[in-house]
Amino acid sequence: MAGSIFGTLFRVSTFGESHGTALGAVIDGCPAGLPLSAEEIQAYLNRRKPGQSAFTTPRKEADTCEILSGVFEGKTLGTPIAVLVWNKDQHSADYQAIWDCYRPGHADFGFDRKFGFRDPRGGGRSSGRETIGRVIGGAIAAKLLAEFGIRAFAYVSAVGAIEAATFDEAICAENLLGMPDPEAAARAAAYLKEVMQARDSLGGTVSCRVTGMFPGLGEPVFDKLDAELAKAVMSIGAVKGVEFGDGFGVSTRRGSEDNDAFCPGQGGTEKKSNHAGGMLGGISDGSDILLRAAVKATPSIGSPQETVNKNGEPVTIEIQGRHDPTIMPRAAVVVESMVNLVLADLLLRNSVSTVEKLKRAAGRA
Amino acid sequence: MAGSIFGTLFRVSTFGESHGTALGAVIDGCPAGLPLSAEEIQAYLNRRKPGQSAFTTPRKEADTCEILSGVFEGKTLGTPIAVLVWNKDQHSADYQAIWDCYRPGHADFGFDRKFGFRDPRGGGRSSGRETIGRVIGGAIAAKLLAEFGIRAFAYVSAVGAIEAATFDEAICAENLLGMPDPEAAARAAAYLKEVMQARDSLGGTVSCRVTGMFPGLGEPVFDKLDAELAKAVMSIGAVKGVEFGDGFGVSTRRGSEDNDAFCPGQGGTEKKSNHAGGMLGGISDGSDILLRAAVKATPSIGSPQETVNKNGEPVTIEIQGRHDPTIMPRAAVVVESMVNLVLADLLLRNSVSTVEKLKRAAGRA
Amino acid sequence: MAGSIFGTLFRVSTFGESHGTALGAVIDGCPAGLPLSAEEIQAYLNRRKPGQSAFTTPRKEADTCEILSGVFEGKTLGTPIAVLVWNKDQHSADYQAIWDCYRPGHADFGFDRKFGFRDPRGGGRSSGRETIGRVIGGAIAAKLLAEFGIRAFAYVSAVGAIEAATFDEAICAENLLGMPDPEAAARAAAYLKEVMQARDSLGGTVSCRVTGMFPGLGEPVFDKLDAELAKAVMSIGAVKGVEFGDGFGVSTRRGSEDNDAFCPGQGGTEKKSNHAGGMLGGISDGSDILLRAAVKATPSIGSPQETVNKNGEPVTIEIQGRHDPTIMPRAAVVVESMVNLVLADLLLRNSVSTVEKLKRAAGRA
Amino acid sequence: MAGSIFGTLFRVSTFGESHGTALGAVIDGCPAGLPLSAEEIQAYLNRRKPGQSAFTTPRKEADTCEILSGVFEGKTLGTPIAVLVWNKDQHSADYQAIWDCYRPGHADFGFDRKFGFRDPRGGGRSSGRETIGRVIGGAIAAKLLAEFGIRAFAYVSAVGAIEAATFDEAICAENLLGMPDPEAAARAAAYLKEVMQARDSLGGTVSCRVTGMFPGLGEPVFDKLDAELAKAVMSIGAVKGVEFGDGFGVSTRRGSEDNDAFCPGQGGTEKKSNHAGGMLGGISDGSDILLRAAVKATPSIGSPQETVNKNGEPVTIEIQGRHDPTIMPRAAVVVESMVNLVLADLLLRNSVSTVEKLKRAAGRA
């Protein structure tokens, strides 16, 4: 259980190093009969692809995916779906100078202590390239959720301290930072250029909204909807915090301010507000899921940094490889993928929560 | 996989409803040879016990635990450790009036939609009483971690907007709110009394620090140390956000500000700062783990609230049962327990991460 | 993952030592809305209860069970169901003489090597008393399966070399050995008395038939129906072999003899024969499941045996405690319980195998 | 949890259809620092490769494997090891005639009922080609076990009713049926030719012996060594029975005959006999593991068979594709692979069974 398998019923097993031969994912447990094509997965991969603007790494990877198994005549078979992406543009020589050093803010030191050694080329398994497997899985999960009218959308809600003040989903595709507020996007771009000139980097926040939810997803106690989402999102390399609904804001509010009143609504019970962000007691209540993740600045920066090498000797490094001055525009689809994976898994788990659902599934209700 | 089992190798299976016969936990996977007594578990349970001050529910429960299995002559056998706590002071009649209503901020609605019905007495399985099983497991995990010099301590870092400005662990036991800053504790107590008179409730934040860490805990990709901790802490009923190290603060900082420089140190490599909160790339780096959780105000309040009943008809309720005006002082040990459970599990998982460790474990190095 | 949790979706966590305080099981994942009472579980426990005849151990245990959680107003809540049985009639002193010896045919030696020490009283965790948890889980699983018309029945098909030649389920309850053939039962009883006088013991075979199956249970590749059943049955202490349908007989037959022809039948496709024992490619085909398990003779015998003690010194022991001269009549319900646990689990897993079933479960087909 | 992931700590995720693009496996949890090359895996794959004699399918596949990740400079990284084999010689047209029919003895019917449809080309996921992933995983597990001196060897112990009477491992590679007894191999070959002329097929038994075991592998109760092995071996498509040590023979023996006496031995305690086949109470005792599996005759035969098609109409089929008249010589390495997978997994699990082992693993003993 070395940690590269995610999910309980809808399970994704990912593999691949940054400068290895290939990366990919195997999805076990995807229900049969779901229409699926490589093009649909590719559309998600393209949203995280490098080399798309001056704001991201110049590494050139088409990141074209192939489906190796699990799909027949355009539909999932119910058997494992293996999807592969070949690495093409490795510049491993860039890493030679810092091969033996522990880059600040990176996983190098921990990997060495845990595994005894590591693949230093491009960060090996701890590279952001690892997220290719997540996006493959998330794309397939999204297809399944769509059958139920559920849709997650993640976007860059802040770059550094510059926050989006307005929201228009369509705007996200029209600026290089993927923000839903064109004015904030412009200011963020200008600020980022400054930071890049200082050979520095920036983080921000990614927000995600899920619409079309129905009540009942999430399991009591440990596998709550928010618990599973928190793990999923926090497992993304650069994320340092996650919150739901009013999040940290709840800590200063009274119960009477924070409770969402129920009222009769279209198609049943509704909430008058959504401070809770879509779940109560860890189970979805049918309102939109709202979450926000804090993303740290890319740790690979060109300016000089103090560190030590494997032998514990102090050294100064200037990281030369190809890096993202900010990962924000590429991070949104990764957050969205993790949200999709959690929801697909909990959708399956919810289907076995009562005898009545079991009977309906078996056609014996 | 209904969600009441936690952990991969060090596994806790909890059970029990608020007004049922008993609550408890079964721990499977605790290594053999660990000294363990019921008294040691009891010390942790006493920290979450109700009825200890005017600031918590008046429900009277001794919460005395019994060990039913897995311990022989004062040591763990390596077999499942079952620990039981009987319910004694149920006042189920208190809930009759709201039996059919969906209490705002509570899990009632979701449980009904998921399971078709629920135990309405005291919140059933979604009651805070469920955390007894967590604390039992956490206490045993703490014993194991102590063998390695690892110790987690969680405390109330804020009640409402009143934050602790100083930290003295010993102070926590000297005030009813469990805060490490006596001055903040006094102000918080005064404010809480006001809120209680308004038949309202308060939340706050719990912080946790883990000392004595060694590098290597946490698994790459999905089962990162912070991901597992985030799930663990977010699975506690009232938590709405979690962050590590500088947490949401990182979103506004540059890479050069956020990176922790490495330097030679006592016994090897150290970090000059700890913005990252004890882990890099999801693997512990030997520095202290720092996390903070946002806890919402108790949703059960005495003032009138709008809601609907099972039939979708609007009703107004005033919740009469025995409730905590704030769960903050009782929540800290629950956060600490979840942290202990995660660390014990990852300690075991780390032990099989290299061939060399396996050989040492087998006495064949 | 020390091994006391069974199942993937319908999960049973068992605990308890032979001479400890109590034994029991926690079932997590049982769907909500299933009618369940302690009496129904008790009926299964009574079938494995000791002290019922001269052919089983004289240990006197009522083995009365209590449900501690997970059931409300006679129905399962979808939350963990904890069930407890107290130990009452421990005679731990019986074991003092052999405390430090490794009893031949017993787990003592392996436990010591694995865990460093063990509870020697009555075999501790490796005692047949451990099966109480299995039977509790199996009884609940049987209730769920009954909702779908599925029923397992296990019986003693042979004691020593004396095999049942006829089958009448009702007969099993009418003889002390639980055999379906009265004539074989009588011969077996006579033979067993002889063996008992020689202070020796006997084994035999248990067979199980499952009726009312529908096609589709079992997962491709590793989690095949027969693979899961084989693990389940082989995990019972004394079982040394398991086979399905024609079992070992297939090794000498040609494909043309072994293949079961399909034909149109009542309610769809049927098989003309059932050499395969109810599954093809690891998936149920709707015909009856047929399995057979080989059970070894009780290793605790009164006649003198050579062995060694903890220090590796040779000793001769005569085991004095209370033991079953044959466990056959008590073993059948344990096999049946394990079969029920597997089927309940696979029933749940099958419910998420297609998008269509998911939609039906969610009421959106 | 559709069933294509095997193992608890040493986990193999396999994928691939018989006539799909590729097959392979991802191993998560293999400890870091294990020397590993594609050639070593290839040696195992070559033992199950088709087209090697008149006794196996004429399908021509080199089955050359590529390692895509998880290995760096000849050693495992502790990250997932992905290994791929491309399909080259698919003749999907052979299956057109029986596309809609349920072949007797095959998984077709169950797959259709479970998943709503299936890939009929070459059996899809239920083809024997699926075992490529098992052999990949088993080869890596074997490398790990070799570090501890543990070695499994499986061989054909019978073809039809013709059993090997002598054992010489070297002989297995010298005859086309992989039997350890040259005389039996010759008789079996002659008999098989007869059967082939009748357009029929044969099964047999595979036996496996594991040497170099040490005590302590296997977990109490459900995850016993023999339980895990039984599941592993029974999960192979054609296996219908499995037994350990004296196996079904124990059912007719007395306790005094079946118990293996302990005695002082080289390097500690030994057993005077090994009726139990290497484990007691589900935990290895240091003696050799002995198991035997019953393998049914290949269900694909050329002679006419009655069956039905998807619409439930009776049809007669003669299966034309390329099939193995017996899978016996190719099955041995698959059994061996599954045994290796179980042992590697239990080796890892055993390493966390005591506090002392944990301390040694961490270098803190």
Query: Which amino acid, residue B90?
Result: Q
Cα distances from A344 to residues A139, A144, A296, in angstroms, run: 11, 7, 28
Question: Residue A40 is inside which H or E element, if any?
Answer: helix A38-48
Residues of A in contact with D29 (CB under 8 A): 1-2
Which is nearest to C111 in space by CA: B139, B35, D225, A57?
A: D225
Binding positions of A for FMN are 125-127, 281, 296-300, 322
- By the 8 A CB rule, do A80 and D14 touch? yes
- B181 interface with C at CB cutoff 8 Å: no
Contact C78 A29 (CB under 8 A): no
Structural tokens at position A117: 């050694």
CA atoms of D237 and D48, how far apart (whole Å)? 14
Restricting to B residues 157-176, those with a Cβ less than 8 Å away from any Cβ of C are none
Question: What pLDDT, in 10s, does the model give residues C100-129?
Answer: 899 999 999 999 999 999 998 888 999 999
Q: Residue C297: pLDDT band by 50, 70, 90 thresholds?
A: very high
- C5 interface with A at CB cutoff 8 Å: no
The whole-number average pLDDT for the span C58-72 is: 92
Contact A107 B281 (CB under 8 A): yes
Q: Which residue has the higher pLDDT, D187 or C89?
A: D187
Cα R_g (chain A), whole angstroms? 21
From first CA to last CA, the distance across chain A in angstroms is 38
**In the 8-state DSSP scheme, what is residue D92?**
G
- B144 interface with D at CB cutoff 8 Å: yes
Residue with tokens 């311990």: B71
Structural tokens at position C127: 């005692």
CA atoms of B190 and B184, how far apart (whole Å)? 10
- B35 interface with D at CB cutoff 8 Å: no
Residues of B in contact with C11 (CB under 8 A): 1, 5
What single string gives the DSSP state of each residue in D2-44?
-S-EE-SSSEEEEE--TTSSEEEEEEE-PPBT-B--HHHHHHH
- C347 interface with A at CB cutoff 8 Å: yes
- A362 interface with D at CB cutoff 8 Å: no
Give CA angle at D338 (D335, D340), nearest 5°. Answer: 110
Structural tokens at position B296: 């919402």
Mean pLDDT, rounded, of chain C: 94
Residues of C in contact with B74 (CB under 8 A): none
Q: Where are the domains of chain C?
A: 5-361
Sequence-distant (6+) residues with CB within 8 A of A224 are: A218, A279, A281, A282, A283, B3, B234, B235
Q: Residue C266: pLDDT band by 50, 70, 90 thresholds?
A: confident
Contact D32 A75 (CB under 8 A): no
Is a pLDDT exceeding 80 seen at residue C51? Answer: no
Contact A352 C29 (CB under 8 A): yes
- C344 min Cα distance to partner chain A (Å): 11
- C84 min Cα distance to partner chain D (Å): 18
Please state which of the ranges B232-241, C5-14, C232-241, D297-306 shows the lowest mean pLDDT: D297-306
DSSP alpha helices (H): ranges in C198-278?
225-234, 255-258
How much is the pLDDT for C96?
Answer: 80
How much is the pLDDT for B23?
Answer: 97
Residues of C in contact with D220 (CB under 8 A): 2-4, 107, 111, 125-126, 130
- A262 interface with C at CB cutoff 8 Å: no
Sequence-distant (6+) residues with CB within 8 A of B194 are: none
Highest mean pLDDT among C60-64, C138-142, C299-303, C304-308: C138-142
- Closest CB from C5, C205, C296 relative to D258: C296
CA atoms of C313 and C319, how far apart (whole Å)? 18
Contact A1 D16 (CB under 8 A): no
- Closest CB from A78, A80, A125 relative to D77: A125
- Closest CB from A33, A220, A363 relative to C355: A33
Q: Is B289 left (phi over 0), alpha (psi -120 to 50) or beta?
A: beta
How much is the pLDDT for D353?
Answer: 97
Q: Residue B251: pLDDT band by 50, 70, 90 thresholds?
A: very high
> Nearest residue on chain D to C280, judged by CA atoms?
D107
Contact D32 B354 (CB under 8 A): yes
Burial D87-115 (b: 16+ CB within 10 A, else e): beebeeebbeebeebbbbbbbbbbbbbbb
> Nearest residue on chain C to A146, judged by CA atoms?
C355
Structural tokens at position C44: 């299964």
CA C354 to chain centre: 31
Q: Residue C49: pLDDT band by 50, 70, 90 thresholds?
A: confident
Is a pLDDT exceeding 80 seen at residue B252? Answer: yes
Contact B15 C82 (CB under 8 A): yes
pLDDT < 70 regions, chain D: 1, 267, 321
- C92 interface with B at CB cutoff 8 Å: no
Contact C352 A348 (CB under 8 A): yes
- Closest CB from A29, A220, A351 relative to C362: A351
The domain over range C5-361 is classified in CATH as 3.60.150.10: yes
Question: What pLDDT, in 10s, does the model give residues B212-228?
Answer: 999 999 999 999 999 99
* D168 CB-side CA count, 13 A: 10
Residues of B in contact with A301 (CB under 8 A): 255-256, 259
Query: Which amino acid, residue C68?
Result: L
- D116 interface with A at CB cutoff 8 Å: yes
- C349 interface with D at CB cutoff 8 Å: yes
Best to test chain A binding among D9, D68, D119, D136 (most A CBs inside 10 Å): D68
CA atoms of B276 and B280, how far apart (whole Å)? 7
Question: What pLDDT, in 10s, does the model give residues C148-188?
Answer: 999 999 999 999 999 999 999 999 999 999 999 999 999 99
Question: What pLDDT, in 10s, does the model give residues B293-351?
Answer: 999 999 999 999 999 999 889 999 988 767 789 999 999 999 999 999 999 999 999 99
**In the 8-state DSSP scheme, what is residue C82?**
E
> Nearest residue on chain B to A123, judged by CA atoms?
B281
- Closest CB from C9, C78, C353 relative to A31: C353
How much is the pLDDT for B365?
Answer: 79
Per-10-residue mean pLDDT for chain A, 365 residues long? 92 96 97 98 93 79 94 97 93 80 93 93 91 98 98 98 97 95 97 95 98 96 98 97 97 95 86 96 97 96 92 89 86 98 98 96 89
How much is the pLDDT for C1?
Answer: 64
Please state which of the ranges A322-331, B154-163, B253-262 shows the lowest mean pLDDT: A322-331
- Closest CB from C29, C77, C125 relative to B119: C77
Which is nearest to D244 in space by CA: D211, D207, D198, D216?
A: D207
> Nearest residue on chain A to C146, judged by CA atoms?
A355
Partnered with residue C342 across adjacent β-strands are: none
